[in-house]
Structure 1
Amino acid sequence: MASCSSTKLVVVFAYLVLLTFSDNLVTGESDNVKLNLYYESLCPGCQDFIVHYLVKVFDSDLYTITDVKLVPFGNAKVSKNLTVTCQHGEEECKLNALEACGIRTFTDPKSHYWFIRCVENDTKHWESCVKNYGFEKYIYDCYNGDISKELILEYAKQTMSLKPPHEYVPWVTLNGKPLDDSVQSLDDFVAQICKAYKGKAPLPKLCDSSVLMPKSPKRKVPKLQVSYADKAINN
């Protein structure tokens, strides 16, 4: 018959195993490619990337291997008294805050992506996006209160802690590594996600051989109109 001390050891060991397993579930560890997009609302290149290129992730099976995180702060600056100044003026600050509230309200990345895409596709009529996607009260309560300020300051912290620091926006990282100048070559955006995936699940259909083939040197590659971080801030 087992002693009491042996029984206790078995119970403790089982508890530790369960705790470790639970921690892995909580942290959400997966083999998916971690795609972070650091951007600002009125940046033409950011709008182009969100509306016409990032949509490829959410409008296909590529989403099954990609965890997308959107960080709306970009090249803004934070003063000592925590005042935020945006590169494209006050309207950009407002839209960054609105989109931060959208991310908070629509917690699922796919849901808040479509909301943000709606705003970036027509920034002058962003109110219709709030109305059409629902949860108006939650978004406006966040947007008009202190919550939006707290969210933006947190995104500022995340953006300013990037290593290496971002040079421009849109700034994209895959598994924590910046794409550097290659982000401007939109032609291979999907291929880079496919190549970065090291999981065991089969690659999405979008990652077919034609996507992963090397580009012809004679082929023209579309470029993003980036906004550089050292460019003067609009007051």
Structure 2
Amino acid sequence: MAYSSSSNKLMFFFLAFLLLFLFSTNLVAGESDKVKLNLYYESLYLESLCDHTTVKKKKKIITDDLVKLFESDLHGITDLKLVPFGNAKVPDNLTVICQHGEEECKLNAIEACAVRTWPNPTYGGEKAIRDCYSGDISKNLILAYAKQTLNLKPKKKYVPWVTVNSMPLYDNYDDFVVQVCKAYKGRSPLPKFCSSASAKKKVLTLQVSYADEAFHY
């Protein structure tokens, strides 16, 4: 499948987000000490061109909450993993069916390739992402994300679904930073952001896509 204009815009937004994280290198904790923060989401969550009100509101956890990881010293105790599979299904024939149709599946695959490529920016950049997307690699990545998502315990009820050390936050996204700070048991001191007033700031109620909502084929 060829890239669409919206796919290109989504990819550049997503890569900018990844690069912001990857070049935040002032680490304070060893890899084994870091809080495991996983975000299970759908690609339309990032799609700035989508005019669906719910989807626009759902972007808040990245633009407002996860950004706190990179604008502060909080990233030093956090191991962030992005899982772009959403509420998709995988029938026995291993064909992935996305809740919001083919465009969501396409963008999930692009983001999966970006996640694979950009831990090492010298790996090939945008060309590596395109090659990954146009071949079998993207499908294998999505199937791996499917296994990870569908085997969650407890099972997710909606996306975005966030876990801290494998435990879901449910509706406690307004307590996002506090939960990460509480979960940290490493030997290094807690980041200053954990005790700051901004860390305790409440956010608006997060809008979600429930797993049992109708699929748009």
Answer whether TM exceeds 0.5 for this pair: yes
For 2:164, the aligned partner's letter is L
SS of 1:30's partner is helix
Which residue of structure 1 lines up, in the alignment, with residue 216 of structure 2? 234
After superposition, the C-alpha distances for 1:101-149 in whole angstroms (9 at most, x for unaligned) are 00110126xx7xxxxxxxxxxxxxxxxxxxxxx7121010001111000
SS of 2:193's partner is coil
C-alpha distance in 2 between matches for 1:42 and 1:73 = 11
Residue 140, structure 1, aligned to residue 130, structure 2? yes
SS of 1:153's partner is helix
Residue 89, structure 1, aligned to residue 101, structure 2? yes
C-alpha RMSD over aligned residues: 2.0
Is this contact kept in 1: 2:109–2:142, CA < 8 A?
A: yes
The higher radius of gyration belongs to 1
C-alpha distance in 1 between matches for 2:140 and 2:64 = 30
* Percent of pairs with identical residues: 66
Offset of 1:160 from its aligned partner? 0.4
Instruction: Give the direction of change, closer, same or farther, for the CA distance of 1:47–1:77 in structure 2 (3 Å limit).
Output: same
Offset of 1:72 from its aligned partner? 0.5
Which residue of structure 2 lines up, in the alignment, with residue 76 of structure 1? 88
Which residue of structure 2 lines up, in the alignment, with residue 35 of structure 1? 37
Please report the TM-score for the alignment, with normalisation by the length of structure 2. 0.75
* Count of aligned pairs between the two proteins: 176
Residue 156, structure 1, aligned to residue 146, structure 2? yes
Please report the TM-score for the alignment, with normalisation by the length of structure 1. 0.70
Unaligned runs of 5+ in 2: 1-29, 46-54
Is this contact kept in 2: 1:77–1:85, CA < 8 A?
A: yes
C-alpha distance in 1 between matches for 2:211 and 2:39 = 15
Is this contact kept in 1: 2:41–2:85, CA < 8 A?
A: yes
Unaligned runs of 5+ in 1: 1-27, 112-133
